[in-house]
Structure 1
Amino acid sequence: QVDERGGPFDLVVLAFGYLGDERAAQRDTDALAHILNANFTGAAIALAHLANYLEERDTPTGVIAISSVAGDRGRQGNYAYGSAKGGLAIFLQGLRNRLAATSVHVLTVKPGFVDTPMTEGLDGLFLVAPPERVAADIVRAYRQKKDVLYTPFFWRWIMLVIKSIPERIFKRLKL
């Protein structure tokens, strides 16, 4: 249910995620379900309710949702989290298509590594962005009515390369 007791809104930001423990998720379906529910199911249900409300209201509104570059290609090190974020990105793509004829703008944000409590202490991180930079990129992309934002910008090119690696080679990589 959407609550506008504080007055009408013109922007909704959906920003939550749970990295979880990939090894635990590989062996424990409850751990896997927690990752999937936190990153996809809950977000999709919230967005579905919101979309129904926004279609009826039909006033200019922005929807910004945080996915991840992890959702662009399944990697052995985080495919539970990545598949949930990939599912969210596809859901947002469909939602954007559904709402294209309305005054609702949907922005999918795909950040790389961001210096947050979720990434604190993780090994092997590179090109870690400060949250302030990511926030500035999001504001700029929203104002420019972009559909998808990779942030920082170089992640678009990194993921383009990663996605272009043939599966027979990719499955041998330790990513």
Structure 2
Amino acid sequence: MSAATWLVLGASSSIARAFALEAAGEGANVLLAGRDRDDLDRSAADIGIRHNVAVRVVDFDAEAVDSHDAFVTHCAGLAAEFGGGPLNVFLAFGLMPDQATIDRDPDQAQRTIQATYAGAVSVLHRLAPRMEAQGKGHVVVLGSVAGDRGRIKNYVYGSAKAGLHAYLQGLRARLFRAGVTVTTVKPGFIDTTMTWGMPGLFLVASPRDCARACLRYAAKGAEVRYFPAFWWIIMTIIRNIPEPIFKRLSI
């Protein structure tokens, strides 16, 4: 049986880089997709040295939706060249400007939504028919605890992730009928460039631990998971704070 191929979207992020290494360590072939070609080339070389799997770098821009048809066709072709095993998808991109920056420059709100939500929907909706046709496989998408409630500190980014969560619910129902699993992972604070220097961080998890958890969730066909798991408790409390009280909180 041919090895699976993981298409890693946003592969220059810390979690995605760790995920690609872990997936390759389990024998999967890897397609590294993103904008930072130099970084992706280094990751591909690292994977090639550590693991005896096929690995390729593919240019991808979440905001350049006009290029997504050709991108998906190209990735499907590469996966076929690898031996025709199932194509899996790990999506880890997003844009999270500081909320104060967005408030000063409303154009940043549009960019946040385009990169975090609209770009993800664009590429996933083009991948969906290919996933259905193969009749198996996994889609794992990094959402965020920020999408569980609109907080004053990051409500634009949170709204983009909330939209993504809702989209994935529908995609999960669609692909379930074809034998494909869709897993939404909602990380809390992870030690990445996106969170570096942010005030008020606590119980920060490592990208490698998150990547390993994502692979476990995919293997189990999980639907929605918080990482670390205790964030389910935290967000359950936050979601249930009455609005008259919540709007007075600076969180």
Q: TM-score, normalised by structure 2?
A: 0.67
Q: Which runs of 5+ in 1 are unaligned?
A: none
Contact 2:191 2:207 in 1 (8 A): yes
In the alignment, the residues of structure 2 paired with residue 172 and residue 73 of structure 1 have an alpha-carbon distance, to the nearest angstrom, of 14
Partner of 2:191: 115
1:57-78 per-residue CA deviation (whole Å, 9 max, x = no partner) reads 1321111111100000000000
**Secondary structure of residue in 2 paired with 1:5:** helix
Which structure carries more relative contact order (alpha carbon 8 Å, separation 6+)?
Answer: 1
**Shift in Å at residue 53 of structure 1?**
2.6
Deviations 1:114-163, CA, capped at 9 Å, x for gaps: 00111111111111111111112111111111101100000111101110
Query: What is the match of residue 26 of structure 1?
Result: 103
Partner letter of residue 119 of structure 2? G
Instruction: Provide the rounded CA distance (Å) in 1 between the counterparts of 2:197 and 2:93.
Output: 19
Q: Take 2:89 and 2:104, find their aligned partners in 1: how far apart are those partners? A: 36
Query: What residue in structure 1 maps to residue 77 of structure 2?
Result: 5
* Equivalent pair of 2:139/2:218 in contact (CA under 8 Å): no
Greater alpha carbon shift after TM alignment, 17-26 vs 116-125:
17-26
Q: 2:144 aligns with which of 38, 43, 68?
A: 68
> Which secondary structure state, in structure 1, belongs to the residue aligned with residue 198 of structure 2?
coil
Aligned-partner Cα distance in 2 for 1:63–1:43: 12
Partner of 2:203: 127
1:150-165 to structure 2, matched below 5 A, reads 150-165=226-241
Q: Does 1:168 align with 2:244?
A: yes
Give unmatched runs, 5+ long, in structure 2. 1-68
Q: Give the percent of matched residue pairs that are identical in Structure 1 and Structure 2.
A: 46
Q: What is the CA–CA distance in structure 1 between the aligned matches of 2:178 and 2:94, rounded to whole Å? A: 28
CA-based RMSD of the aligned residues comes to 1.2
Larger Rg: 2
Instruction: Give 1:29's aligned amino acid.
Output: P
Following the alignment from structure 2 to structure 1, what is the Cα–Cα distance between the partners of residues 77 and 175? 24
Kindly indicate whether the alpha-carbon contact (under 8 Å) linking 2:205 and 2:228 is maintained by their aligned counterparts in 1.
yes
**2:120 aligned residue:** 43
Aligned length: 174
User: What is the distance in 2 between the residues matched to 1:122 and 1:24?
Assistant: 14
2:230 and 2:217 map into 1 onto residues whose CA distance is 15
2:153 is the alignment partner of 1:77: yes
Q: String of CA shifts for 1:21-73, please: whole Å, max 9, x gaps.
A: 21121232211111111110100111111113322x13211111111000000
Moved over 4 A (4+): none
